[in-house]
Amino acid sequence: EGIEWIRLHYAFPTGFPMDVLDVMNEEPKICNYLDIPLQHISDKILKSMRRGTTQEKTTKLLKEFRAKVPTMAIRTTLIVGYPGETEEDFQILKQWVKDMRFERLGCFTYSHEENTHAYNLEDDVPEDVKQDRANQIMEIQGQISWELNQQHIGKEFKVVIDRKEGGYFVGRTEFDSPDVDNEVLIDAEKHYLKTAEFVTVKISEASDFDLYAEPFVN
């Protein structure tokens, strides 16, 4: 009682308990959202990372997620510039991001940290190459996100209001984690809303990572 949303974060791709998806479908409090940090998709890099999976298995798993919960937003995080990542490995990752059309995605450049398995490997991808690869991935994702967001115009969503910033109340749908995902912006000059309150809104405009909305009144 009293809890509106429960969100699943940091799922691991190997041994994922598929019955969780049944609960997601049956229980309104479970957000139709899954954060599953996949890190890479080239089989060579996955093996070096000791991820215990392959491109084929991961792609099959994501297709199963979407078949079971069609409305689910899948969030992943990727790492570019991992030791030994060749241009070919990067192109495999890039094409896969285009094909998978993740609802939410973050991309980070590899950082050589002590006390990790990869620290024993040579950090052999130059910083400027790492950054360029991250930028390329986020450019692709920006376009995908823009296209997906256009489909929300005219639709109603339940949002939680996180804060007031500038001239807007800033909220999130169940498909968005705090701080990392899309936000819903509501004009604070026209409407008064309370932080931590849930409201139903109608989307009027959409950019690549933001939705603009009006509170919905019957």
Asked if 205 and 124 sit in the same domain, the reply is: no
Number of domains present in the structure of the chain: 2
**pLDDT tens digits, one per residue of 6-15:** 999 999 999 9
For position 203, what pLDDT does the model report?
97
Asked if 172 and 145 sit in the same domain, the reply is: no
> Is 1 within a domain?
no
For position 113, what pLDDT does the model report?
82
Q: What is the CATH number of the domain that holds 200?
A: 2.40.50.140
> Is 79 within a domain?
yes
For position 112, what pLDDT does the model report?
84
Asked if 57 and 23 sit in the same domain, the reply is: yes
Q: Which domain holds residue 202?
A: 156-215
Asked if 163 and 145 sit in the same domain, the reply is: no
Residues of the chain with pLDDT under 50: none
Asked if 68 and 117 sit in the same domain, the reply is: yes
Q: What is the CATH number of the domain that holds 139?
A: 3.30.750.200
Asked if 133 and 25 sit in the same domain, the reply is: yes
Asked if 79 and 165 sit in the same domain, the reply is: no
For position 114, what pLDDT does the model report?
78
Residues with Cβ within 8 Å of 49's Cβ and at least 6 positions away in sequence, in order, are: 39, 40, 82, 117, 118
Packing angle, helices 55-68 and 87-100, rounded to 10:
10
For position 216, what pLDDT does the model report?
84
> Is 74 within a domain?
yes
**What is the four-CA torsion angle of 130, 136, 138, 140, rounded to 10 degrees?**
-150
For position 89, what pLDDT does the model report?
98
For position 155, what pLDDT does the model report?
97
